[in-house]
């Protein structure tokens, strides 16, 4: 089981270490290097429809899962209690870690007009997921 360390920072540093989640409360975002080791940087903004950080004073958890569909590795994992928990990769209409309540949030959000602010890839991804679950 891989451990994800965490550091609370004001600004995300330029050089981020593998295996550490840098958390900026001020900017409501966290950054880490993809847990597969490919070196890609994963940005997880905190918002009502993006990620949520759970900090219990010792370990951190991020919800929902992290799906790096935009990277070559296409890795997919949860960070729970500072541990990296791997999920199945998304392939051929299969979502291993989908959560319906999250899906509903996304669905409500992306059918409203405020969706334009969100990253296109994420939007594309969620619209696919929503389509999948609706069928
Ligand atoms: Zn990767």
Considering only 7-16, 27-36, 121-130, which range has the smallest mean pLDDT?
121-130
Average pLDDT over residues 67-87: 92
pLDDT for res 108: 76
CA of 99 to the centre of ligand 1 (A): 22
pLDDT for res 127: 73
pLDDT digits (tens, 9 = 90+) for 47-60: 999 999 999 999 99
Indicate whether 20 and 76 sit together in one domain: yes
Residue 78 lies in a domain: yes
Q: In this model, does residue 69 exceed pLDDT 80?
A: yes
Indicate whether 9 and 41 sit together in one domain: yes
pLDDT for res 87: 85
CA distance 116 to 126: 13
Residue 25 lies in a domain: yes
> Looking at the chain, how many residues does it have?
135
CA distance 36 to 84: 10
Considering only 5-14, 84-93, 101-110, which range has the smallest mean pLDDT?
101-110
CA of 61 to the centre of ligand 1 (A): 19
Rg (CA), the chain: 15
Residue 30 lies in a domain: yes
CA of 86 to the centre of ligand 1 (A): 12
Average pLDDT over residues 30-53: 96
CA of 26 to the centre of ligand 1 (A): 27
Indicate whether 72 and 111 sit together in one domain: no
CA of 74 to the centre of ligand 1 (A): 6
CA of 40 to the centre of ligand 1 (A): 6
Residue 95 lies in a domain: no
Indicate whether 106 and 43 sit together in one domain: no
Q: In this model, does residue 71 exceed pLDDT 80?
A: yes
Residue 120 lies in a domain: yes
Residue 13 lies in a domain: yes
Average pLDDT over residues 6-23: 96
pLDDT digits (tens, 9 = 90+) for 109-125: 777 655 455 566 676 77
Per the DSSP assignment, residues forming a β-bridge with 83 are 3, 80
CA of 114 to the centre of ligand 1 (A): 30
Q: Which domain holds residue 120?
A: 100-134
pLDDT for res 128: 72
Indicate whether 82 and 35 sit together in one domain: yes
């Amino acid at each position: 089981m891989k451990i994800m360390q965490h550091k609370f920072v004001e600004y995300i540093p330029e050089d981020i270490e593998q295996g550490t989640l840098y958390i900026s409360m001020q900017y409501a975002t966290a950054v880490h290097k993809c847990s597969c080791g490919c070196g890609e940087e994963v940005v997880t903004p905190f918002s009502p429809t993006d990620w949520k950080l759970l900090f219990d004073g010792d370990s951190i958890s991020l919800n929902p899962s992290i799906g790096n569909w935009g990277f070559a590795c296409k890795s997919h994992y949860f960070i729970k209690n500072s541990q990296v928990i791997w999920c199945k990769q998304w392939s051929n209409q299969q979502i291993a870690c989908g959560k319906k309540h999250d899906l509903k949030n996304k669905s409500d959000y992306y059918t409203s007009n405020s969706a334009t602010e969100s990253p296109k890839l994420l939007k594309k991804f969620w619209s696919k997921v929503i389509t999948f679950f609706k069928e």
